[in-house]
Amino acid sequence: MSERDPLLIEIGCEEIPARMIPRAATDLAGIVVKILDDQRLEHGSCLSWGGSRRLAVRIESVQGRQPDRDETLLGPPAKVAFDAEGKPTRALQGFAKKQGLNPEDLTPVETDRGLYAGIERRVAGSSLDQLLARDLPAAVASMSFPKIMRWADGRNRWVRPVHWLLALHGARTLELELFGVRSGNRSEGHRFLGSGPVEIEHADQYATVLEQRHVIVDPVERRKRLAESLDASSAALGGSVVRDEGLLDEIADLVEWPGIVSGSFEADFLELPLELLVTTLRHHQKCFSVQDAEGRLMPHFLAVANTDQDPKGHVRRGNEWVIGGRLDDARFFWREDRRRSLEERSAELERVILHRDLGSYAEKATRVGELAVKLAGKLGMSAEEVAHCGTAGRLAKNDLVTGTVGEFPELQGRIGGLMLEAEGAPAMVAKAVFEHYQPVGPEDDVPATPGGAVVALADKLDSVARFISIGRGPTGSGDPFGLRRATSGIFRIALEHKLDLSIRDLCDLAGGEELLLEFLRERLEKYFRELGYTPNEIRSVILVQGGKTSLLIPLTDVSLRLEAVRGVRERADFARLVELTKRIFNIVPKIEEGSRERGGDWRPSPERYEDFEDPEEPGKLLRELIEQSGPVVEQRAESKQYDRVIDSLAEFVAPVASFFDDVLVNDADRPDETHHRGEMLSRLGAILTRYFDIRELAGQADRRA
């Protein structure tokens, strides 16, 4: 029996946290596919589905039974198994009895390890039912979730209690048991609209039957329908929805039968700052805002519901009621906070502890202010701008003690900036405070204004430096103070704002020591790894000159050099350039050694170069080449045209190659010339590896992250 049918497994349970559904659905599919693969059951493609009350997987064209196979069953070694006459010994009889075989049927079989008693036999394949019943329960029970729970007698551990298990192979129900729940051909639809359990007659009908029972099992479809409803509902209100893809992802897994409820709030609330209004709707109620054609917010919201019906208007009324209350709260906090200026809050920061070894936020505010001043000065800002950066740095944390930020922690910085704006502070100061938490993550933008960049960088750098200094840096997978993310933020700000800063500058500005320097260097490597550069490409740039000076290269230059280096392997002359560089670095130490052996008093001097007997001395030609092309390389590097630097370096290939072909470089009979040639090669080597060392790129192509 090996008819091929679709396999469908659905685990029905109590409401799974929305944030865990996508990963869990994928994991379940992975588990089932792995069992099929491990058991050599052929199958087609796989679809994973999930909703609040279910995880499901559907796999096309699954074999119902493993093919039978022939195998050789081996018993004891032949010399133990057979006596002198070739008759089965007691040992073989014992083995045969245990296996239910006739001892006479076993014959000597040649194996890698020698001669054994053995038998060829046909093993019947196991059925899909048997294999899933054996392997699935344990695999599902060991699925990982961000948080699991125990229920009933406390022995079962999973994300939520399991209530039903639907297992179909075509139209046939597979017999399984999971957490004490027996499988069947019944599923359940929507908790309220689905009217109880429903039989699924064939795996093919699963999605359709559930849709009739008000459940969309495909999360992509749910998201699509939600997006359409949002558009339709906002159009009906005469506006358009304020897009928020993150929120859409979140709510698509919160409901099984997505509906959108539109409601209104008092137009008076529109006086609140935009950020506060949108965040209130999003944070507490997962609601979308609506804007008019001019991009102005309208006094409406769109909320998600797990139903498309609202026969008595309760759903709309309830949401309006709650949102009205939330906006009331937000307005209360905002008005209360506005009674005193942001500046007046400075003293209260003393009561907010940053960390027990790092004192209060008041101390941090002072440090960030000072650091922002130093940074702005170093970047060549005007005296007024420097002062603004200092003020912004000093005030940036003051909104932590406002009621609004207490209520909406994700608005930290924003509220401070908005308060300053409302107080009539200079725009640069208000903007810098407003933006100084950015970028919050890899998806977030860096601050748009130069002041914002300075204060954001100062804030993050202070955190990194101070936590490192008290030994609280990241370890392994643990990074309780988010220093890795902060450091990536520092690099992104420096790069996107083209700030002329090196790792050493950052460390010095923050008054950090070796530990900080090492941390930043390591993070820089990781940062570029994440951007897709290979370890060798990164080494070729930051390990130049033995890595000693890499800390001094401005970050923007590191980035530009990496970009140039990335393409270099594709060049036709790449291999020759590498070979040449290697050859130079091989021969120079040998020449130096020879010179040392001949005595140390000889010092080459340019005047004596002309005394060489041979006017065509090849070393002289090398010197001319260096004097001519060296400045071109430098000048191109100066103007940061690193790809053209590589072009210049490539121009050395032909003449230097013929130099090596024509001359016995290390010529014991001509010590002066040899020394001179050595020195020129050494200078050439320095030029070739000054900005990047392409020798690092030779050999096996390494992997991009």
Residues in contact with another protein by the rule CB under 8 A: 14-15, 17-19, 52, 147-155, 161, 163, 191-193, 254-255, 259, 261, 285, 303, 305-307, 309-312, 314-315, 317-319, 321-325, 328, 351-353, 356
The smaller minimum CB distance to another protein, of residues 266 and 530, is found at: 266
- The separation between CA 589 and the C-alpha centre of its own chain, rounded to angstroms, equals 44
User: Helix (H, G, I), strand (E, B), or coil: what is residue 259?
Assistant: strand
State the nearest-atom distance from the C-beta of 75 to another protein, in Å. Answer: 48
The smaller minimum CB distance to another protein, of residues 223 and 326, is found at: 326
633-636 long-range Cβ contacts below 8 angstroms, 24+ apart: 633/687, 633/690
State the nearest-atom distance from the C-beta of 278 to another protein, in Å. Answer: 17
The smaller minimum CB distance to another protein, of residues 315 and 560, is found at: 315
Short-list 54, 3, 1, CA closest to 170: 3
State the nearest-atom distance from the C-beta of 241 to another protein, in Å. Answer: 18
- Do the beta carbons of residue 411 and residue 501 sit within 8 Å? no
State the nearest-atom distance from the C-beta of 56 to another protein, in Å. Answer: 19
One DSSP character per residue, 367-393 reads HHHHHHHHHHHHTT--HHHHHHHHHHH
State the nearest-atom distance from the C-beta of 265 to another protein, in Å. Answer: 12
What sign results for the dihedral spanned by CA atoms 605, 607, 611, 616?
A: positive
The smaller minimum CB distance to another protein, of residues 238 and 325, is found at: 325
User: In angstroms, rounded to a whole number, what is the distance separating the alpha carbons of residues 405 and 412?
Assistant: 6
Neighbours of 688 (CB within 10 A): 22
State the nearest-atom distance from the C-beta of 291 to another protein, in Å. Answer: 21
The smaller minimum CB distance to another protein, of residues 53 and 492, is found at: 53
Reading the block at residue 593, the tokens are 């050694």
The smaller minimum CB distance to another protein, of residues 19 and 340, is found at: 19
The smaller minimum CB distance to another protein, of residues 53 and 675, is found at: 53
The smaller minimum CB distance to another protein, of residues 290 and 501, is found at: 290
The smaller minimum CB distance to another protein, of residues 243 and 317, is found at: 317
User: In angstroms, rounded to a whole number, what is the distance separating the alpha carbons of residues 178 and 181?
Assistant: 5
User: In angstroms, rounded to a whole number, what is the distance separating the alpha carbons of residues 246 and 240?
Assistant: 17
State the nearest-atom distance from the C-beta of 377 to another protein, in Å. Answer: 35
User: In angstroms, rounded to a whole number, what is the distance separating the alpha carbons of residues 604 and 609?
Assistant: 8
State the nearest-atom distance from the C-beta of 705 to another protein, in Å. Answer: 33
The smaller minimum CB distance to another protein, of residues 315 and 565, is found at: 315
219-236 vs 21-38: helix crossing angle, rounded to 10: 160
* Burial of 375: CB neighbours in 10 Å, binned 0-12, 13-18, 19+: buried
State the nearest-atom distance from the C-beta of 573 to another protein, in Å. Answer: 60
The smaller minimum CB distance to another protein, of residues 153 and 570, is found at: 153
**Residue 443 CB partners (closer than 8 Å, separation 6+):** none
User: In angstroms, rounded to a whole number, what is the distance separating the alpha carbons of residues 10 and 512?
Assistant: 56
State the nearest-atom distance from the C-beta of 197 to another protein, in Å. Answer: 13
Q: Which residues of 519-533 are buried (b: 16+ CB within 10 A; e: fewer)?
A: bbbebbbbbbeeeeb
User: In angstroms, rounded to a whole number, what is the distance separating the alpha carbons of residues 371 and 506?
Assistant: 10
State the nearest-atom distance from the C-beta of 259 to another protein, in Å. Answer: 8
User: In angstroms, rounded to a whole number, what is the distance separating the alpha carbons of residues 168 and 46?
Assistant: 15
